[in-house]
Amino acid sequence: MTSPLELVVPLHDPNQSLRLRRFLLAALVYGVAIGLMGLYVVLGFMTLVGWQITTAAILAVNGVIYTVLRSGRNERLRDPSLTGVQMFCTCLLMALTMYQVDSARGALLLLYLVLLMFGVLRLRQWQFMALGLFALVCYAAAIAAVWQTRPWAVNMDVELLQLAAMATLVPCGGFFAGYVGGLRRKLRDRHIALQQAREQAHDLRVLDPLTAVSNRSRIIEFLEYEVARAARLEQPLSVIMLDLDRFKRINRQYGHPVGDEVLKRVAERLQGAMRSIDGLGRYGGEEFLVVLPDTPLAEASVFAERLRERVEGCRFASLPPTFKLSVSVGLAEFRHGDGVWSLIERARGAADHALDAGGGRIDATESR
């Protein structure tokens, strides 16, 4: 059931919720301005018609902005917060209000300056300076219009003083906007750096740092899930153990950096053959474990042959052209009552049989 708050401010989208909360805070200031103008009417500083016109304009502008924000159409725009639009409308509404008031404009002017301060949160320094200049022009135009139509309602000395005060506040606000913008950029950069650090920490936790495939703990965790799933749904599951033949000889003869190159290249070739549902991990040393969900032994045998061909087709820049890598492949299919380790051990046993038979071949004897 939708709560009353969510009818006004959607809670499912944090960004949109924040925009609407800021808008409603600004709308609250407008509400205070409307109430203060009502007091002006009572005190004789403003006509009732002037109050009605200004109030209608404020409600219409804010109603349109709220409708756009609430509908989500603002998210298609370059400025989804509609900050520029809201500040532009604030300047125009300020000019309308100043025109309708006969005297004591300073109190209402302060409220509109508070509304302009909302621009500090989103606008760049030059944008806020341009906004401040536009506000000065709007205020001056409103006073000039009053001077032309109701000269008795203008104390020019006071108005010039207020205009000068506004002109002083604009660069101060621009400086503050630049300062806040700098803080926001620093926070954004730190957030990005923190996110990258989290991703790196996650990679270190689940990926093998050399080959960039799943590490031992992650591939076993994946296999545990698939074993439980296969037992529950009675679906096929096969695993493949690949053991690079005579890999230690490569390390002894050509050095460990070359051995690392071989492992990385083999991992790339294996990864390129995986389906989206498969799991691939470095089980240890020169051993790779492949988990094949929803795959019976016959299909796994075909897939294993494809993997063997991909591995043995690898070429390495640091090794002689005549060098040929071979791999022993062991297959095991999930049986009722199998656990993770029994399944792995049967695949390893099959790989050992393949190696004992000369290597470079596939064995599934442990699954028969």
Instruction: Name residues whose C-beta falls within 8 Å of residue 177's C-beta, 6 or more positions apart in sequence.
Output: 119, 120, 123, 124, 125, 127, 128
Both structure tokens of 270: 């294996």
Burial call 327-356: b when 16+ CB within 10 Å, e when fewer: bbbbbbbbeeebebeebbebbbbbbbbbbe
Both structure tokens of 364: 């599934």
Stretch (H or E) spanning 242: strand 237-244
* Residue that is written with structure tokens 């989208």 in the block: 13
Q: DSSP of 156-176, one letter per residue?
A: HHHHHHHHHHHHHHHHHHHHH
Burial call 255-271: b when 16+ CB within 10 Å, e when fewer: eeebbebbbbbbbebbe
CA distance 5 to 155: 46
Burial call 88-121: b when 16+ CB within 10 Å, e when fewer: ebbbebbbbbbbbbbeebeebbebbbebbbbbbe
Instruction: Give, as one character, the DSSP assignment of residue 301.
Output: H
Residue 232, Cβ neighbours under 10 Å: how many?
8
Picking from 323, 320, 295, 321, the residue whose alpha carbon sits closest to that of residue 307 is 295
Both structure tokens of 36: 């203060």
Query: What angle separates helix 105-116 from helix 14-43, to the nearest 10 degrees?
Result: 180
Picking from 255, 233, 190, the residue whose alpha carbon sits closest to that of residue 334 is 233
Residues with catalytic function: 286
CA 333 to chain centre: 41
